[in-house]
Amino acid sequence: MTEPLINTPITHTSMNGASTKDSPLLLDIENLSVTFGQGVRAFRAVDDVSLKITQGEVIAVVGESGSGKSVTMMALMGLLPPSATVRAQRVVFDNKDMLSMSAKERRGIIGKDISMIFQNAMSCLNPSFTVEMQLGEVLRKHLGLRGAAVQTRILELLELVEMPDAKNRLKVYPHQLSGGMSQRVMIAMAIACEPKLLIADEPTTALDVTVQAQIMDLLSRLQREKQMAMVLITHDLGLVAQNSRDVAVMYAGQVVETSTVPEIFQKPAHPYTEALLQAIPELAIGQDRLNSLPGVVPSQYDRPSGCLLSPRCPYKESACEVPPPILDTPTGKVRCIDSNITSHPSHAATLESQI
Ligand code: ADP
Ligand code: MG
């Protein structure tokens, strides 16, 4: 199940990028773009995304629905359909240049050293196979296990993901599992090969609130115990605060800010990050209503030529009509005309007047 469905090739956009000198880094993605379709109908779903992930750390990728979080990770996994064109300047994983390696070499990494938990576990499990068969396939294929070793490891994995009554779940089919149990099976499959990087794509979105907390606790425990790096994709800033160290905020296919927790909560540098924070109910206690940005994420047909947030941004200036620079901040980078725009007193007043 973790095998790429379609192994979309990634094309170099530059010959300069593929250095392996950043050894503490586990994954270094530079300027990754994904375009769906061709010609006038071409739609750039991911635009120049750069992400760095160090070994054993958790990075959260946040942004509202449609901001390109899943497509970025699916591009890395080679899971996009043939209508997608993926380009990147650099994709180095574990000191290996993924752009120059053969499809066979990539298949050896994907599903083994990098694995992914998908948004909707129920629909990702094969309905015709039992839990035992689905887990067994991963163990046979990637680890070459056979016979009794497969059985032993399956049970070990189910116990590791705290599957209730694990022994009696081996022969059951996905439709006999609850949402939380399905997610536990997905997690067991994803960690079966002890990956160096686990991508958890909205791992709790489809679950009840109480089960959400259990699954997040489980993922966080496994991440620490196994020293796995993890990309936690979420639109829930509460999960970010509890579970990650680094944060990348995406808007309309672009990373607009990278920072760390708690800095991003105390001092967001990008107006979009600030707006996301102002929309968290827990942080808005005492306010009559939640603040939100006017308007919607630009579609394929109404993308502004400059800053993509500018039609909705309370800080908009004439300089925003051209693509903004990427500036350094004390804890990361921001894609804006000013690295400190949300802290200017005059701008705070502007925001107040718009609310
Ligand atoms: P999210 O941040 O919610 O995970 P996605 O990465 O799924 O967002 O999607 C980013 C954009 O790419 C969206 O506008 C989505 O409609 C578009 N998209 C995703 N998959 C495809 C596809 N297979 N073909 C065309 N457009 C797609
Ligand atoms: Mg998604």
Pocket test for ligand 1, best of 5, 32, 34, 36 (most atoms within 8 A of CB): 36
**Which residues does 1 contact at the CB level (< 8 Å), separation at least 6?**
124, 125, 126, 134, 137, 138, 189
**What is the 3-class SS of 190-231, one letter each residue?**
HHCCCCCEEEEECCCCCCCHHHHHHHHHHHHHHHHHHCCEEE
Strand 25-36 to strand 43-54: parallel, antiparallel, or no bridges (unpaired)? antiparallel
Distance from residue 153's CA to the centre of ligand 1 (Å): 36
Q: Are 190 and 228 in contact (CB under 8 A)?
A: no
Strand intervals (E) in 55-110? 58-62, 84-88, 90-93, 96-97
Protein residues within 5 Å, CB atom, of ion ligand 2: 70
pLDDT of residue 200: 96
Which residues sit opposite 355 in a β-bridge? none
Report how far ligand 1's centroid is from the alpha carbon of 300 (Å).
11
Q: In the 8-state DSSP scheme, what is residue 110?
A: B
**Cβ contacts of 33-42, under 8 Å, gap ≥ 24:** 33/86, 33/87, 33/88, 34/68, 34/71, 34/72, 34/75, 34/80, 34/84, 34/85, 34/86, 34/87, 35/84, 35/85, 35/87, 36/83, 36/84, 36/85, 37/83
Tokens of 217: 């606790």
Consecutive 10-residue runs of the chain (355 residues): their mean pLDDT?
A: 41 36 78 94 94 95 92 93 96 93 90 90 88 95 93 95 95 94 94 96 88 92 94 90 93 96 93 89 57 79 91 94 96 95 66 43
Residue 61 in contact with residue 43, Cβ under 8 Å?
no
Sort strands 10-12 and 84-88 into parallel, antiparallel or unpaired: parallel
Q: Whose CA is nearest to atom 14 of ligand 1?
A: 66
- The pLDDT, as a whole number, for residue 205 is 84
For the CA of 37, the closest atom of ligand 1 is 25
> Do 187 and 219 meet the contact criterion of CB atoms below 8 Å apart?
yes
Give distance in angstroms: CA of 66 to centre of ligand 1. 6
Cα 16 versus chain centre, distance: 26
Q: What is the pLDDT of residue 346?
A: 56
Report the Cα–Cα distance between both ends of the chain, in Å, rounded. 47
Residue 117, beta-bridge partner list: 200
The alpha carbon of 161 and the centre of ligand 1 are apart by a number of angstroms equal to 30
Please state the pTM of the whole predicted model: 0.88
Of the candidates 47, 17, 15, the residue with the CA atom closest to the CA atom of residue 32? 47
CA distance 218 to 209: 14
Residue 252 CA to ligand 1 centre (angstroms): 10
Residues whose CB falls within 8 Å of the CB of residue 3, separated by 6 or more in sequence, listed in order: 107, 110, 111, 141
Q: How far apart are CA 44 and CA 155, in angstroms?
A: 43
**What is the model's pLDDT at position 1?**
37
Copy the structure tokens of residue 281.
Answer: 């109910």
Q: Which atom of ligand 1 is nearest to the CA of 299?
A: 14
Can you spell out the DSSP letters for 317-332? -GGGGSPPPEEEETTE
Ligand 1 is surrounded, with C-beta below 6 A, by: 36, 45, 63, 65-71, 81, 83
